[in-house]
Amino acid sequence: MSGRKNCCLAKKALCSANGLAWAFRNEKAFRNETAALLFALALAIYMGAAAASVLRVFLACLLPMITELVNTAAEAALDLLAGPIYREEVKAAKDMLSAAVLLSLIVGYGYSLLVIFF
């Protein structure tokens, strides 16, 4: 594992691309958030937003996607650590991860709507 820590930037970028591709293939929420990003960008362009505003919409829409990636990775780690046995602490952790995704959706898309329409 220590070999990966000091590997070149190209290999790290490939690992990141693999993570994005895995999330897109396996996580419906990530696909939905990708579609929402594309829709928000199209809407901003259609509404005649300036290039800087379109960039703000893009960056704001990345927030839910980033949070979804963290949520997915953390849930996978929790499942591996906890195993098949139900634990209230694991449920609470997953609920908090879900709440983080919800808040990021509100902030990211709410800000995007403000940029587009106001």
Could you give the residue numbers annotated as active site?
68
Angle between helix 28-46 and helix 51-82 axes, rounded to 10 deg: 170
Q: How far apart are CA 70 and CA 100, in angstroms?
A: 10
Show the beta-strand stretches assigned E in the chain. Answer: none
Angle between helix 51-82 and helix 9-26 axes, rounded to 10 deg: 80
- For residue 93, how many other CB atoms are within 10 A of its CB? 16
Q: How far apart are CA 95 and CA 102, in angstroms?
A: 10
